[in-house]
């Protein structure tokens, strides 16, 4: 594989290349020369603009003829600092060795889409000046209990290396990683300038770990915990933030389901003049919310806690605070969320901010269409709307009537079961497609759907990049015609030329996959569940979709022959997940043998031996490191 070759070449080059910075003495390598300049790097660029020391007794022409590459490299580094997109940087690094080197020295944002694709040491070895790290661990289907716990994706090995390699590290973003309190302690201690910690769908730590972060990261600007499990160690982490004015800009802890010290929180908010984003957990009452809002009218993003009165508060006999005034005072508010345990009467308090809202998340609020309408009819600028299906088709019609700027819609089920009567259907989808023509992303859970509505969306919403439809009843056909949902999804891939992410559901034959393979040329992520008839389905996709990077399949009749048809493509993919399909161990073994840079994991459920011929779960991904050493007992890595 390409990376392998370049690793070898790098060492050759180091021997061959003449020294750049003569101040450093005899024969330093290029890398060391860079470090010797000792300048702090900001952003993604290098700041070495003049490396020609005045004391060097070399004529200009001699310098030029001896070290032409180095001048070019300096220029290159200065130019490359303007490249921020990692895809652009990846492309630049493949031009030639010197570009590879220059890019490696100037990359400051490290993105690792699969923490097992590359080892921490290898990453550190190539990129010497990193300020920001994004690490993703488990595959998405792990969120739905399809993977036993303790599978892996440990942050521990990474944080150790990062602590040594990047003392100037400022940002860490982790998704689906397993993190311990000790990891967070090490993080907090190792980076004096640490600014941003974002943890999405992570687990393994508790409020103890948060305490380390709060107390030791004095420059902390962002602490965002999103859908992350945090155990209650009964530590008052909120009160451990440093005294005096903080740098806090964003504090999101709605998923931390522990009681918090409200007085400490109030004081924290009061001494955080830069705070723009605040999302509270359900243990913060609406009266407490009021007090916080009064202290922070500059907020742009607000997530409420419990949104309704408590009886205890009533009996205390205080008059109700003026919630409307509090909201009205937040003139910069553009994003509202939370609304847990909602008392719908109190929704009227948010009317003053509706006109400015670009994002509204009601996905934890069990409100009806009638309760939604007076709010949504004012939200003309809304771009992102998340809700529960309790708003019904009627609520969606109201959204379609007003929210002409809508870019992203997510409708979640209140009742996540298969056989209930659903409150939203093809009617809601049709209405949205007609009213919200700029829609780019949709996630829609429903019990019934028709091809006609999906086709309508495909022709009305030509900006669609993400189409995720979940018809909750498995194998459910078109509600009106009884046909499979092939034509609907076919129309989506055919008409929506910008589509990069697709999730299918309902009764689907191989024909649907034929359409996807034929038209889905930009698709990067595809999710399939309970669909297809035969190997042909998967073959169409693997042979037809050149940009496919993430493919997750469950409970579909695809077997070894289909798996083989993707051999030409697996190195271009981040991963393939197939669970409860028709793969045999031998079939998976063949793949492992044919592709040495692929890690082929066979995962069985915790409690049993693999007795059946069919593999329960196949998870395979490209990697430079070979089989990982931290695989638990229920994972077998095939060779």
How far apart, in Å, are the Cα atoms of 79 and each of 75, 82, 95, 439, 516?
A: 6, 6, 15, 36, 40
| 229 lines the binding site for another protein (CB under 8 A) | yes
H/E element holding 159?
A: helix 156-165
Binder among 259, 325, 416, 594 for another protein (CB under 8 A)? 416
Candidate ranges 309-317, 376-384, 431-439, 457-465; the one touching another protein (CB under 8 A) = 309-317
Residue 92: how many other CB atoms lie within 10 Å: 19
Contacts with another protein, 192-211, as mask; x by CB under 8 A: ---------x----------
Pick between residue 109 and residue 560 the one whose CB is nearest to another protein: 560
First to last CA, the chain: 17
Q: How far is the CB of 144 from another protein (least distance, A)?
A: 3
Which tokens sit at 74? 């300096």
Burial class (CB in 10 A: 0-12, 13-18, 19+), 366: middle
Q: Which residues pair with 250 in a beta bridge?
A: 222, 277
Q: One symbol per residue from 570 to 609: x for binding another protein (CB under 8 A), - otherwise; what is it?
A: ----------x-x----------------------xxxx-
Contact (Cβ atoms closer than 8 angstroms) between residue 20 and residue 30: yes
Are 323 and 294 in contact by the 8 Å Cβ rule? The answer is no
- Site for another protein contains 366 (CB under 8 A): yes
- Judged by beta carbon, residue 29 or residue 363, the one nearer another protein is 363
CB 146, min distance to another protein, A: 5
Catalogue the E-assigned strands of 253-345: 277-279, 301-303, 335-337
Pairing label, strands 575-579, 230-231: unpaired
| Other residues' Cβ atoms within 10 Å of the Cβ of residue 249 | 19
Report the C-alpha gap between 266 and 273 in whole angstroms. 13
Contacting range for another protein; rule: CB under 8 A; set: 35-43, 107-115, 448-456, 473-481: 473-481
149 vs 596, which CB is nearer to another protein? 149
List 331, 474, 498, 547, residue binding another protein (CB under 8 A)? 474
Q: Is 428 in the site for another protein (CB under 8 A)?
A: no
Residue 575 DSSP class: E
Instruction: Determine the interface stretch with another protein among 120-128, 289-297, 471-479, 482-490 (rule: CB under 8 A).
Output: 471-479
472 belongs to the binding site for another protein (CB under 8 A)? yes
- Cα separation, 368 vs 317, in Å, equals 30
481 binds another protein (CB under 8 A): no
- Comparing CB distances to another protein, the nearer of 89 and 554 is 554
Q: Pick one of 2, 50, 145, 312: the residue that binds another protein (CB under 8 A).
A: 145
Q: Is residue 452 part of the contact set for another protein (CB under 8 A)?
A: no
Q: 395: which strand partners? A: none
Q: Does 374 bind another protein (CB under 8 A)?
A: no
Tell whether residue 476 is a contact of another protein (CB under 8 A): yes
> Of 327, 387, 321, which Cα lies nearest the Cα of 357?
327
Note the residue count of the chain.
639
Among 47, 417, 586, 593, binds another protein (CB under 8 A): 417
Q: What is the DSSP string of 187-234?
A: HHHH-TT--EEEEES-BSEEHHHHHHHHHH-TT--EEEEES--EE---
Under the binding rule (CB under 8 A), the answer on residue 255 touching another protein is yes
Is the distance from CB of 392 to CB of 368 less than 8 angstroms?
yes
- Of the candidates 15, 311, 421, 609, which one interacts with another protein according to CB under 8 A? 311
Give me the least distance between CB of 315 and another protein, in Å please: 7
Residue 227 binds to another protein (criterion: CB under 8 A): yes
- Residue 259 makes contact with another protein by CB under 8 A: no
Q: Is 483 a residue that touches another protein (CB under 8 A)?
A: no
When the beta carbons of 234 and 608 are compared against another protein, the nearer one is: 608
Q: Is 582 within 8 Å of 556 (Cβ atoms)?
A: no
The mark string for 23-62 relative to another protein (x by CB under 8 A, - otherwise) is ----------------------------------------
Map tokens 């590459």 to a residue.
Answer: 69
613 binds another protein, rule: CB under 8 A: yes
Which of the stretches 68-76, 138-146, 204-212, 215-223 binds another protein when contact is defined by CB under 8 A?
A: 138-146
Alpha-carbon torsion angle 509, 510, 511, 513, nearest 10: 110
Q: Hey, which residues between 263 and 292 contact another protein (CB under 8 A)?
A: 282
Shortest distance, position 449 Cβ to another protein, whole Å: 13
**Does the protein bind another protein through residue 363 (CB under 8 A)?**
yes
44 Cβ neighbours under 8 A, 6+ residues apart: 80, 81, 83, 84, 106, 107, 108, 109
Answer for which of 103, 408, 560, 616 binds another protein (CB under 8 A) is 616
Q: What whole-number distance in Å separates Cα of residue 346 and Cα of residue 446?
A: 28
**Helices 510-519 and 486-495, interaxial angle, to 10°?**
0
Residue 421 in contact with another protein, rule: CB under 8 A: no
For another protein, the binding residues (CB under 8 A) are 141, 143-146, 201, 227, 229, 255, 282, 309, 311, 314-315, 317, 340-341, 345, 363-364, 366, 388, 412-414, 416-420, 445, 470, 472-476, 529-530, 554-555, 557, 580, 582, 605-608, 612-614, 616
């Amino acid at each position: 594989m390409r990376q392998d070759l370049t690793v070898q070449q790098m060492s050759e080059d180091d021997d061959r290349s003449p020294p750049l910075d003569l101040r450093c003495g005899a024969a330093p390598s290029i890398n060391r020369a860079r470090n010797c300049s000792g300048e702090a790097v900001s952003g993604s660029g290098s700041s070495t603009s003049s490396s020609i020391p005045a004391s060097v007794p070399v004529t200009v022409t001699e310098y030029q003829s001896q070290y032409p590459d180095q001048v070019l490299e300096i220029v290159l580094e200065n130019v490359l600092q303007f490249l921020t997109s990692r895809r652009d940087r990846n492309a630049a690094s493949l031009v030639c060795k010197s570009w590879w080197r220059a890019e490696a020295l100037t990359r400051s944002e490290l993105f690792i889409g699969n923490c097992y694709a590359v080892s921490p040491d290898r990453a550190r070895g190539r990129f010497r000046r990193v300020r920001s790290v994004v690490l993703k661990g488990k595959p998405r289907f792990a969120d739905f209990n399809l993977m036993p716990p303790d599978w892996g994706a440990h942050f521990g090995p990474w944080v150790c290396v990062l602590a040594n390699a990047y003392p100037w590290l400022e940002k860490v973003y982790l998704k689906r990683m397993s993190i311990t309190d000790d990891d967070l302690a090490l993080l907090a201690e190792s980076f004096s300038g640490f600014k941003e910690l974002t943890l999405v769908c992570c687990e393994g730590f508790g409020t103890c770990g948060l305490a380390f972060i709060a107390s030791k990261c004095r420059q902390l600007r962002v602490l965002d915990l999103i859908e992350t499990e945090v155990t209650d160690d009964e530590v008052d982490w909120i009160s451990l933030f440093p005294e005096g004015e903080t740098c806090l800009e964003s504090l999101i802890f709605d998923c931390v389901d522990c009681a918090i010290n409200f007085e400490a929180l109030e004081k924290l908010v009061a001494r955080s003049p830069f705070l723009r984003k605040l999302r509270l957990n359900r243990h913060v009452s609406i009266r407490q919310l009021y007090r916080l809002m009064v202290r922070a009218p500059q907020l742009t993003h607000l997530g409420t806690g419990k949104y309704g009165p408590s009886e205890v508060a009533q009996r205390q006999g205080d008059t109700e605070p003026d919630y409307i005034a509090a909201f009205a005072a937040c003139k910069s508010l553009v994003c509202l969320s939370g609304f847990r345990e909602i008392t719908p009467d109190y929704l009227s308090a948010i009317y003053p901010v509706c006109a400015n809202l670009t994002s509204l998340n009601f996905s934890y609020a069990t409100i009806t269409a009638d309760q939604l309408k007076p709010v949504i009819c004012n939200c003309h600028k809304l771009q992102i709307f998340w809700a529960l299906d309790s708003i019904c088709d009627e609520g969606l019609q109201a959204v379609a009537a007003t929210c002409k700027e809508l870019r992203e819609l997510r409708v979640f089920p209140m009742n996540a079961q298969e056989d209930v009567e659903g409150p939203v259907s093809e009617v809601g989808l049709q209405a949205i497609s007609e009213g919200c023509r700029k829609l780019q992303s949709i996630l829609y859970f429903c019990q019934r759907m028709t091809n006609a509505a999906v086709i309508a969306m495909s022709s009305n919403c030509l900006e669609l990049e993400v189409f995720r439809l979940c018809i909750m009843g498995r194998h459910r056909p078109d509600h009106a015609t009884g046909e499979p949902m092939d034509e609907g999804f076919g129309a989506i891939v055919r008409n929506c030329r910008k589509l990069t992410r697709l999730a299918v559901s309902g009764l689907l034959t191989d024909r649907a996959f034929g359409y996807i393979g034929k038209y889905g040329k930009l698709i990067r992520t595809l999710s399939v569940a309970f669909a297809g008839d035969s190997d042909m389905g998967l073959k169409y996709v693997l042979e037809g979709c050149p940009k496919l990077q993430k493919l997750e399949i469950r409970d579909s009749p695809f077997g070894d022959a289909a798996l083989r048809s993707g051999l030409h493509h697996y190195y271009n993919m981040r991963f393939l997940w197939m669970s409860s399909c028709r793969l045999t161990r031998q079939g998976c073994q063949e793949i492992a043998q044919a592709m040495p840079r692929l890690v082929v994991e066979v995962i069985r459920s915790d409690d049993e031996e693999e007795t059946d011929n069919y593999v329960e779960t196949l998870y395979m991904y490209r990697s430079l490191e070979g089989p990982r050493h931290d695989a638990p007992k229920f994972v077998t890595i095939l060779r």
